[in-house]
Amino acid sequence: MNFDGLFSNFGELTTTGLTQGAIYALVALGYTLVYGVLKLINFAHSEVFIAGAFFAIWTWNWFGLDQNSQVSGVGSIIFYLLVAMVVAAIASATTATVIERVAYRPLRKRNAPPLAFLITAIGASIAIAEAFGIWTRRRPEGAPSLVSSKPLFEIFGVPIDAVQLLTIGAALVMMVALDMFINRSRVGRGIRAVAQDANTAALMGVNKDRIIMIVFIAGGAMAGVAGLLYDVRIQTLTYSVGFLLGLKAFTAAVLGGIGNLRGALVGGLLLGVVENYASGLFGTQWKDFAAFALLVVLLMFRPTGLLGESLGRARA
């Protein structure tokens, strides 16, 4: 165990862990929303993330930008980021909606058993991932260098760069916006009502199918923004990257309390930090092991996760 490496790089491991954890948290919101309403583990959500990430890169390609491009000027950078974010969110939301309409809704109409939903989710995930693999000829796609990774300032001697600020800041803004939407809007009340008791909500005039569609759209949009942030941070994307990241995002959702929006944030940030600490202490080969070991250990002592509150019981 390399304690010297951990303590000497503690600050940098923390900031990079929070940055990666913010991406986990955004993707985890989709798992949490769907489970909170349908009690369904949507394993195809990792490919919803991939759709947003690819469409963000293809949007930049449409503007003539590739992995070798350098963009200067704050106005140009903001423009390219905002346009790609809108396209990524729409692409992911559309992908999530198609999955719900084509894969899950027919099963709900036939009152299929939970195992059928699980197998369908896995099948949809593999099918979408392979479709992107065929389309890209299984070659990595490169994103342009829009945001500089040069340090802007230091906090207690730890350098902070624009990529970290953008990733964490954008993730926090999106999470706060979603939390306010769920807890303070009329549609959000409908989502919480369906999550608590779908049949009673229907008797009160809530359109269950419409609420479920909105949940998939909202979760998909969050995943699309996460895909954009992943592109900005990593700058290289392959069709298969969504599998492991999706599993970690699901782990983050369970850590925080599946069905709990704020729990997804806590779980994502915690997971990102812990796996980074593990890589500093034991080596990078232990990074993934530490992430899933944390889940097992935590659930042994707190099966409902850290916050453990369901979406149906959330209050404004």
pLDDT in tens, 29-43: 999 999 989 888 899
Q: State both tokens at 306.
A: 């850290």
Confidence of residue 308 (pLDDT cuts 50, 70, 90): confident
Tell me whether residue 203 is in a domain.
yes
Length of the chain: 316
Tell me whether residue 194 is in a domain.
yes
Strands 151-155 and 236-237 come out as unpaired
Q: Give the list of residues 6+ apart from residue 206 with CB closer than 8 angstroms, or none.
A: 190, 193, 194
Tell me whether residue 195 is in a domain.
yes
Strands 141-142 and 236-237 come out as antiparallel
Residue with tokens 């599946």: 258
Distance, CA of 196 to CA of 211 (rounded, Å): 13
Please, what is the average pLDDT of the chain? Answer: 90
Query: In this structure, how many other beta carbons lie within 10 angstroms of the beta carbon of residue 109?
Result: 9
Tell me whether residue 136 is in a domain.
yes
Tell me whether residue 9 is in a domain.
no
Write phi, then psi, for 71 (nearest 5 degrees).
Answer: -105, 130
Tell me whether residue 290 is in a domain.
no
Q: How many alpha carbons lie under 13 Å from residue 218 in its C-beta half-sphere?
A: 25
Distance, CA of 43 to CA of 50 (rounded, Å): 13
Tell me whether residue 77 is in a domain.
yes
Minimum mean pLDDT among 124-128, 164-168, 293-297: which range? 293-297
Tell me whether residue 122 is in a domain.
yes
Distance, CA of 122 to CA of 222 (rounded, Å): 21
What was the pLDDT predicted at 316?
37
- When divided into structural domains, the chain yields a total of 1
Mean pLDDT across 134-146: 92
Domain range holding 149?
26-240
pLDDT of 146 strictly over 80: yes
Write phi, then psi, for 161 (nearest 5 degrees).
Answer: -110, 175
